[in-house]
Homo-oligomer: A and B are copies of this chain.
Amino acid sequence: MLKQKITLKHIAKELEVSISTVSKALKNSEEISRDTKEKIQAFAKLYNYKPNNIAISLKNKRTKNIGVVIPDIVHHFFTTVVRGIEKFANTKGYNVIVCLSDESFDKEVINMEMLANGSIDGFIMSLSSETQYKDDYNHLKEVTEQGIPLVLFDRVTNQVDCDRIIIDDQMGAYMATKKLIDEGRKKIALITTKNYLSVSKARTEGYMKALRDNNMEINSELILKMSSMNMEEELFKTFFDNTEVDAVLSVNEIFAISGMRYIKQKGKRIPEDISFIGFTDGLLSKYANPSLTAIAQHGEKMGEMAAEMLIQKVESENDEETYKTKILEPTLIERDSTIN
């Protein structure tokens, strides 16, 4: 019993009026007589008429869809951002199409091309690590040159004309490092990833700036660069076995948690012997033992703002070529892995 989706045409035929009469009647146009309107509206309601989104999109050249391209979705931060985007977009009647680049340049390109062919009104995205590594943003440029609005968040570039929203990663690292210095820590390690990731770079700078501002030496032996998000156990152990450290700042939760575990295993106490602070205030930080002092990135807020910026651009008539970069301030969430 397939209740085929009903169209204006069906209603028109059934009620023996023209399609445009139906269309107008359903929009409560003054042009149409009360009688006809009531008849048509009643019929439409009875058969649960709803206009076809696709037809409207084609007509209006507006899809009411936002394309979101992120490197990974099994990742707390990105997930909170998506939630924020979805939340705001929904209030404005927009849907969210999520594509995953899986940290791959090619997938990022393919996804954007698919969506750019009319499926979406604008993009919100965070660059894949490979894209940042290759430093190639032609796919973004092509999109913006077509007049499709783009908002980059978190992992961004300034080589493209678009809006941006980031947290002040440098400040976050600075705050955290400062906190450790204030605790009296002298050998503050930084666990980070390779520098082509924009955020890692900024965080490293914040760390170094805090040390310099407090007349502390920057010791490259205290900086551990992991080559990927995946743990390389050996590298890790070698580092902690051979380096004297009394505090650790990590650019992500996993490194921090793994570090804490290894440190505890070695019989040291947290935070008495070593303090830990990690970026990204996710579930792991909250439920770690001891709970991890963390730098919150306010992903949901970021998502909402990104969506707001995008929709504002999408719906603004004048395509003025002004782009803004918003910078959110991170927050230090103090927990038990540092001394308060």
With A86-B100, A289-B289, A319-B2 known as contacts, the answer to whether A53 contacts B118 (CB < 8 A) is: yes
What residues of B have a CB within 8 angstroms of the CB of A76 in the complex?
A: 74
Residue of B nearest to A2 (CB): B147
Tell me if B119 and A54 are in contact (CB < 8 A).
yes
Q: List, in ascending order, chain B residues with CB within 8 A of A261's CB.
A: 287, 289
Interface string of A91-133 (1 = CB under 8 A from B): 0010111111000000100010111111100000000000000
Chain B residues in 8 Å Cβ range of A113: 50
- Given A54-B118, A95-B119, A97-B97; A264-B284 close (CB under 8 Å): no
CB of A45 within 8 Å of the partner chain? no
Confirm or deny: A82 has a beta carbon within 8 angstroms of a beta carbon on chain B. Answer: yes
Q: Which of B73, B82, B117, B284 meets A53, CB within 8 Å?
A: B117
Name the CB-closest residue of B to A52. B118
Query: Which residues does chain B contribute within 8 Å of A48, judged by CB atoms?
Result: 142
Residue of B nearest to A299 (CB): B74
**Interface contact B80-A5, CB-CB below 8 Å:** no
How many Å from the CB of A145 to the closest CB on chain B?
5
**Closest residue of chain B to A116, judged by CB?**
B50
Binds B, one of A55-63, A152-160, A178-186, A241-249: A55-63
- Shortest C-beta distance, A140 to chain B (Å), equals 14
Q: Smallest Cβ distance from A55 to chain B, in angstroms?
A: 6
Q: Which B residues are CB-close (under 8 A) to A74?
A: 76, 79-80, 83
Residues of chain B contacted by A97 (CB below 8 angstroms): 65, 95-98
Q: How far is the CB of A337 from chain B (nearest CB, A)?
A: 12
A215-234 toward B: CB 8 Å interface, digit per residue (1/0)? 00000000000000000000
Give min CB distance, A290 to chain B, whole Å.
9
Q: Which of B58, B72, B289 contacts A55 (CB 8 A)?
A: B58
State the Cβ distance, A153 to closest chain B Cβ, in Å: 16
A318 at the interface (CB under 8 A from B): no
By beta carbon, the residue of chain B nearest A48 is: B142
List B contacts of A52 (CB < 8 A): 117-118
The residue that A51 contacts in the complex, of B99, B117, B288, with Cβ under 8 A, is B117
**Measured CA separation A114–B51 after assembly (Å):** 10
A146 within 8 Å of B (CB atoms): yes
> Who on chain B is nearest to A258 by CB?
B287
Q: Are B119 and A53 in contact (CB under 8 A)?
A: yes
Q: Which residues of B contact A284 (CB under 8 A)?
A: 283-284, 287
